[in-house]
Amino acid sequence: MASGSDRNPIIIGGLPSQVPDFDPEETQEWLDSLDAAVDERGRERARYLMLRLIERAREKRVAVPEMRSTDYVNTIATKDEPYFPGDEEVERKVLNATRWNAAVMVSRAQRPGIGVGGHIATFGSSASLYDVGFNHFFRGKDGGDGGDQVYFQGHASPGIYARAFLLDRLTEQHLDAFRQEKSKFPYGLSSYPHPRMMPDFWEFPTVSMGLGPISAIYQARMNRYLQARGIADTSNSHVYAFLGDGEMDEPESLGQLALAAREGLDNLTFVVNCNLQRLDGPVRGNGKIMQELESQFRGAGWNVIKLVWDRSWDPLLAQDRDGVLVNKLNTTPDGQFQTYATETGAYIREHFFGGDQRLRDMVANMTDDQILHLGRGGHDHRKIYAAYRAAKEHKGQPTVILAQTIKGWMLGPNFEGRNATHQMKKLTVDDLKRFRDRLHLPIPDRELESGLPPYYHPGRDSDEIQYMHDRRRELGGYVPTRVVRAKPLTLPGDKAYAAVRKGSGQQQVATTMAFVRLLKDLMRDKEIGKRFVPIAPDEYRTFGMDSLFPSAKIYNPLGQTYESVDRELLLSYKESPTGQMLHDGITEAGCTASLIAAGSSYATHGEPLIPVYVFYSMFGFQRTGDQFWQMGDQLARGFVLGATAGRTTLTGEGTQHADGHSHLLASTNPACVAYDPAYGYEIAHIVRDGLRRMYGENAEDVFYYLTVYNEPINQPAEPDDVDVEGILRGLHRIAVGASGSVPAQILASGVAVPWALEAQSILAEEWGVKADVWSATSWNELRRDAVEVEEHNLLHPEEEQRVPYVTRKLQGAEGPFVAVSDWMRSVPDQIARWVPGTYQSLGGDGFGFADTRGAARRFFHIDAQSIVLGVLTELAKEGKIDRSVLKQAIDRYQLLDVAAADPGAAGGDA
């Protein structure tokens, strides 16, 4: 049996309800002691004693139940806070300048004639959280490795730009080009973190809320994968994800917490900015979001650090011998704390401290102004440092820091804690003056009273700017920075593709299996084989990829600590700490996050990986389309396989599985190169070209989507005169009409190509029509080329007008043209306007259903006989045949009777 780690015990903790009590007398003594503590010292003292006993039990490695939530106070006691190594005064000056420039940048972006928006309240609340990270924790990439990976909260981007300005990474010209990416090119700054728009600055797109958290988890996991497989040394890399408390309502935010705990990802820290507000109002006005999140993270197995109050609360909490203050903190709802953030010290004295004499006594010697400035922990540099350091030093678990802040902090009474603060973008002159005074900045009134408010820079030689540079030099360079160090890969030659290109002979093979065969051969390549990362959501067997289990193995950091039930079989299930395959379970979102992390490894760590994500095609773009957009934004590369594709091919599964539109969805993604190949040799050329484009010289930031089917067919050998350019550009002729006098053209893709060939034969033998058959490997690429040609012609009327590839390809072919696929008609209709002749399409429009393949295809009128009718109909419209033959064809083939169709081939899970 394979050995594993004791980091992941089967029994985590709990009360031993079935364990006998071997010493009832001793047990009773302990219970009596607890009763005495309650009776003599009160419940609060007894509670404290119990908490200390639990703490000591954990120190002694005694299994005790986890506390799902703790008191509404800081996790790290004041006495346990480490020495703060920074110069807090200098850091305050740096942060004040950063705050000012962030707010002014957004305010200036509202100037007349621009008005492009922006957000300042989020950074107001999280500024200190970032500043401590920048000054003391976030590692850069100057050391040659990947440094740390930091997922910045999207709406905080103005603050990141403002800091880069102080460091001379950006100029005033850049700041004034905020959200004007094209009109102010090359100075334009993207609204949020978008690597596609700023590829040397941002690493991770995060503003589609919920995607940052799940991406960070799988990035931390990918770091461990790279280390385990000896591809990159990621041992010093730490992943930080800065998130909003409102964002945690997204299912992706919390959905994969267990994975991080299960794999012991102590290289991961979530920092949740708990400013208690969503975009419109409180996150949990009647509840306590920090307590709720603490329970969820603890229950998932994370280490939780709560950072609730700043140092001004320490003396009050030290006085709280009866626990009355802690109880008041525990029972005050978030909506009330938000109100306190907007009220006066006198109001807080009356409404928070005024209900109990003991509370009143605590603040009796404090002024209203002192009470007003009892602050939140997420604004205290020393306490933030203590939390970050504890998170970095914690082993065996990922950590979440729940930091309470005030939204719009420091921006003044019109912004702080207000429900509308997220949408507030412009500061009035009075707002600016109050803000300046609060930040102690030497900006005269006259510069605020006329024109646009100025940016502030203390000077390149100032102590605070030199301090910033020194800190970044010590931590290995500036963050965020995206660097591409990866070299082009040495790609396989003809031999790797030979088996698939020679066809299947007499054996029937589905295109899914043709691809798997090719993948196995590529994974054997000495140069790039180890870089392939197969990914699947619990469907490897469905796709015929279980053949990879014995050799590639499934990655699991714990190894395989059990005897597999199928260990005697040749294709037994094998897990290994150095496994190559990622088996992420039934989570398309998790798999896509793995895909993105692997696909961007060439930039993140300078080591290219070649992810191959295989899934039921219905559950790809439809299920996780937002992540595929994120993949394009992150400039990730790799192969995405929509297996068991088509509206009618996955026989028997029904509506939920019958994909007839994923190519339409893929067409909306500018980074996606989509193909619907019919044969193995087409797949070979497409994959080879994909490897060249993504991993060869002058690599492109695209990813490939191939749809493959589970219906076995005879795979033809590659013809000697194969049209490789046509395969790659989207259209090549595979069969010229051999007989008949009336010409026509049939364009088909994927699994529809065999139907088109059958229709070609019927048309020739029964109707005297000579039809050529074309394999349309990519409707999407044909359209993309045509749109680019039209754009060029629009803007260059003085030049010779270009002609789209599809038009040139079909120029000599005599129509009509009939297109057919196992997709909605909208898919082949993408090229309709550029086809040089009468054009009609057939497709699977409507909901799919469970039935035989033949019945489904007859229902949608895309089977061979329906193609025949389609061609005859178009010929009749052109007057080339008599319309009477149409009724003859309908009757002859019983096209109105679904049950009359040949049921077709069954089976073919892969």
pLDDT band at 10 (very low <50, low <70, confident <90, very high): very low
pLDDT band at 50 (very low <50, low <70, confident <90, very high): confident
**Average pLDDT, stretch 93-119?**
94
Which DSSP symbol is given to 608? -
**Average pLDDT, stretch 540-561?**
93
Which residues line the annotated binding site for Mg(2+)?
Answer: 245, 275, 277
Q: What is the pLDDT of residues 177-199, one digit of tens each?
A: 999 999 999 999 999 999 999 99
Edge-first strand order for the sheet with 839-842 is 732-735, 769-775, 742-748, 817-820, 839-842
Tokens (6 digits) for 168:
């001379």
Q: How far apart are CA 645 and CA 660, in angstroms?
A: 8
Weakest mean pLDDT among 24-38, 260-274, 806-820 = 24-38
Domain coordinates in residue numbering, the chain: 1-65, 88-310+375-474, 495-714, 732-900
Residue 270 has pLDDT above 80, yes or no: yes
Q: How far apart are CA 335 and CA 347, in angstroms?
A: 15
Torsions phi, psi of 25, nearest 5? -65, -45
CB distance 403 to 128 below 8 Å:
no
pLDDT band at 6 (very low <50, low <70, confident <90, very high): very low
Q: How far apart are CA 396 and CA 868, in angstroms?
A: 65
> What's the pLDDT score for residue 16?
53
Weakest mean pLDDT among 2-16, 213-227, 407-421 = 2-16
> What's the pLDDT score for residue 909?
53
Which DSSP symbol is given to 272? E
CA separation, residue 426 to residues 59, 61, 62, 121, 487 (Å): 52, 55, 56, 11, 46
Q: What is the largest CA-CA distance in the chain?
A: 107
Residue 12 has pLDDT above 50, yes or no: no
Q: How far apart are CA 801 and CA 797, in angstroms?
A: 7
List the CATH code of the domain at 495-714.
Answer: 3.40.50.970
Among the listed residues 493, 75, 124, the one whose alpha carbon sits nearest the alpha carbon of residue 277? 124
Q: How far apart are CA 377 and CA 367, in angstroms?
A: 21
Q: What is the pLDDT of residues 846-893, one digit of tens each?
A: 999 999 999 999 999 999 999 999 999 999 999 999 999 999 999 999
> What's the pLDDT score for residue 8?
41
Q: What is the pLDDT of residues 625-683, one digit of tens each?
A: 999 999 999 999 999 999 999 999 987 888 889 999 999 999 999 999 999 999 999 99
Predicted TM-score of the model (pTM)? 0.94
Q: What is the pLDDT of residues 517-540, one digit of tens each?
A: 999 999 999 999 999 999 999 889
CB distance 889 to 863 below 8 Å:
no
Q: Which residue has the higher pLDDT, 654 or 306?
A: 306
pLDDT band at 797 (very low <50, low <70, confident <90, very high): very high
Could you give the 3-state DSSP secondary structure of residue 677?
coil
- H helical segments located in 167-245: 172-175, 211-228
CB distance 804 to 785 below 8 Å:
yes
Domains 88-310+375-474 and 495-714 share a fold: yes
Tokens (6 digits) for 680:
């193995």
Residue 422 has pLDDT above 80, yes or no: no
Which residues line the annotated binding site?
Answer: 245, 275, 277
Residue 134 has pLDDT above 60, yes or no: yes
> What's the pLDDT score for residue 802?
98
> What's the pLDDT score for residue 837?
96
Residue 401 has pLDDT above 90, yes or no: yes
Question: Which bin fits 282, alpha (ψ -120 to 50), beta or left (φ > 0)?
Answer: beta
> What's the pLDDT score for residue 17?
54
Q: Which residue has the higher pLDDT, 23 or 454?
A: 454
Residue 436 has pLDDT above 80, yes or no: yes
Q: Are strands 268-274 and 239-244 parallel, antiparallel or unpaired?
A: parallel
> What's the pLDDT score for residue 334?
95
Which DSSP symbol is given to 529? G
Q: What angle do CA 17, 19, 23 make, to 5 degrees?
A: 115
Residue 548 has pLDDT above 80, yes or no: yes
Q: How far apart are CA 406 and CA 419, in angstroms?
A: 11
- Residues of the chain with pLDDT > 70: what percent? 96
**Average pLDDT, stretch 42-46?**
84
Tokens (6 digits) for 303:
């280490």
Question: Which bin fits 465, alpha (ψ -120 to 50), beta or left (φ > 0)?
Answer: alpha
CB distance 831 to 779 below 8 Å:
yes
pLDDT band at 52 (very low <50, low <70, confident <90, very high): confident
> What's the pLDDT score for residue 280?
86
Weakest mean pLDDT among 308-322, 327-341, 536-550, 877-891 = 536-550
List the CATH code of the domain at 732-900.
Answer: 3.40.50.920
- Residues of the chain with pLDDT > 90: what percent? 85
Q: Which residue has the higher pLDDT, 151 or 54?
A: 151
Q: What is the 3-state secondary structure (H, E, C) of 626-652?
A: HHHHHHHHCCCCCEEEEECCCCCCCCC
Element (H, E) at 243: strand 239-244
HSE of 771, CA atoms in CB hemisphere, 13 A:
35
List the CATH code of the domain at 88-310+375-474.
Answer: 3.40.50.970
**Average pLDDT, stretch 700-729?**
97
